[in-house]
Amino acid sequence: NRQITYAKVPDGTPTLDCFALVENAVPDLQEGQVLVANRFLSVDPYIRMRMERRDSYAPVMTVGSTMVGRTAGEVIDSRCLDLPVGTHVVGRLGWQDYSVATPSELERIDTAKAPMNAYLGALGSTGITAWVGLTQFGRPQAGETVLVSAAAGAVGSVVGQLAKRLGCRAVGIAGGAEKCAFVRREYRFDACVDYKAPDFAEQLAAAAGEGYDVYFDNVGGPIFDAVLPLMRLFGRIPVCGLVSQYNATEPYGVKNLREVFNKRLTLRGFVLSDHKDLWPQAVAELQAAYGDGSLVHRDTITDGLENAPQAFIDMLAGASVGKQLVRISAG
């Protein structure tokens, strides 16, 4: 059983020596346990926050432990009647080929309805994050304009698609003209603005129309400052993440906080795990949207568990579109 472990605390951007590939025997199953062959691994920005010296909203990982992460896979051995061999599941099973798990650690997935990889993206915790942040804290009304950063990414792409489904105008922010074109074409946003373009501020203002009613913030940093003056009165800003800051060695100081006061904006940080009561509703609505074609899942798949560290580093640098996954085995 190959495992990727956490070898070193990064100093700024993680490097390959922050990870180690080790090999261990697959443990024997106890009564009530199953053996899952992991097929896909999700590499996510929050993992960077767990590779720190101090806890954030989530505890840091211990050096030497298996990297945390969600996987989708198949039960290949079972000592549990509820989860027979062949059952498809997702769970927080770590960066490894095989995982021993109990039913409480796993969710069944229906791969007749959608491919396995979608359950780590638009139909999984990524999609739920977008749904919770948008509907509970963005609270968009039909006809309003919803702006989202990291729009070509896993969470951002779902936010825009859900906003469209609710009758809103969806505007994205992404890095590079190609990514912006992808967001408009694949995710059907009304507009997408390239934050790396020299005239970003002008383009963002032009796409705002009367102003942004909701800004779903995935990135923080200078983009947050650029958006604040373009918010409408009583606008809502769900703060989902600050990916532009995760590798930063110096904290970014917000300059336009005055706009929060002037415009009477609501800023609301949220973390998915605080809203477990809403997950069933979120999943039902995401599945309905996927079923009627208003929600699409796209991903970037890197082959080989051994390439997971590089995929993670590249994802943080913006190399992926949609959900960044690693294919652990062909299944």
Closer to ligand NDP by Cβ: residue 111 or 270 = 270
Distance (Å, whole) CA 74 – CA 39: 7
* Minimum distance from residue 319 beta carbon to ligand NDP (Å): 7
Instruction: Enumerate residues 56-85 that contact ligand NDP by CB under 6 A.
Output: none
Closer to ligand NDP by Cβ: residue 111 or 136 = 136
Tell me which stretch binds ligand NDP (CB under 6 A): 15-23, 66-74, 202-210, 216-224.
216-224
- Told to check if 156 binds ligand NDP by CB under 6 A, we report yes
Q: Is 142:169 a contact under the CB 8 Å cutoff?
A: no
Of 106, 146, 150, 163, which one interacts with ligand NDP (CB under 6 A)? 150
Instruction: Enumerate residues 301-330 that contact ligand NDP by CB under 6 A.
Output: 315-316, 318, 320, 324
Q: Alpha-carbon dihedral of residues 101, 106, 110, 114, nearest 10 degrees?
A: -100
| Nearest alpha-carbon partner for 89 in 113, 120, 127 | 120
Tell me which stretch binds ligand NDP (CB under 6 A): 43-51, 86-94, 207-215, 288-296.
43-51
Closer to ligand NDP by Cβ: residue 114 or 132 = 132
Distance (Å, whole) CA 32 – CA 79: 5
What is 168-221 written as a DSSP string? -EEEEEESSHHHHHHHHHHS--SEEEETTSTTHHHHHHHHTTT-EEEEEBSS-H
x-marked contacts with ligand NDP along 220-249 as a string, rule CB under 6 A: -x-x----------------xxxxx-----
Of 101, 118, 174, 192, which one interacts with ligand NDP (CB under 6 A)? 174
Of 18, 44, 97, 106, which one interacts with ligand NDP (CB under 6 A)? 44
| DSSP letter, residue 139 | -
> What angle do helix axes 125-132 and 154-165 make, rounded to 10 degrees?
50
Tell me which stretch binds ligand NDP (CB under 6 A): 22-30, 44-52, 78-86, 199-207.
44-52
Closer to ligand NDP by Cβ: residue 176 or 211 = 176
Distance (Å, whole) CA 158 – CA 155: 5
Where do the H-state alpha helices sit in the chain? 46-50, 125-132, 154-165, 177-186, 200-207, 221-227, 258-262, 279-291, 308-316
Count of Cβ atoms closer than 10 Å to residue 39 Cβ: 21
Closer to ligand NDP by Cβ: residue 73 or 124 = 124
Amino acid in the structure at residue 168: C
Tell me whether residue 211 is exposed, middle or buried, using C-beta atoms within 10 angstroms of its C-beta: 0 to 12, 13 to 18, 19 or more.
middle
Distance (Å, whole) CA 207 – CA 203: 6
End-to-end CA distance of the chain: 15
Instruction: Enumerate residues 98-127 that contact ligand NDP by CB under 6 A.
Output: 126
- Told to check if 282 binds ligand NDP by CB under 6 A, we report no
Of 45, 69, 127, 309, which one interacts with ligand NDP (CB under 6 A)? 45
- Told to check if 270 binds ligand NDP by CB under 6 A, we report yes
Kindly report the CA angle at 9 between 218 and 63, in degrees rounded to 5?
115
Closer to ligand NDP by Cβ: residue 117 or 126 = 126
Closer to ligand NDP by Cβ: residue 140 or 221 = 221
* Minimum distance from residue 42 beta carbon to ligand NDP (Å): 8
Of 14, 138, 153, 309, which one interacts with ligand NDP (CB under 6 A)? 153
Closer to ligand NDP by Cβ: residue 18 or 152 = 152
Positions that interact with ligand NDP (CB under 6 A): 44-46, 126, 129, 150, 152-156, 174-175, 179, 218-219, 221, 223, 240-244, 270-272, 315-316, 318, 320, 324
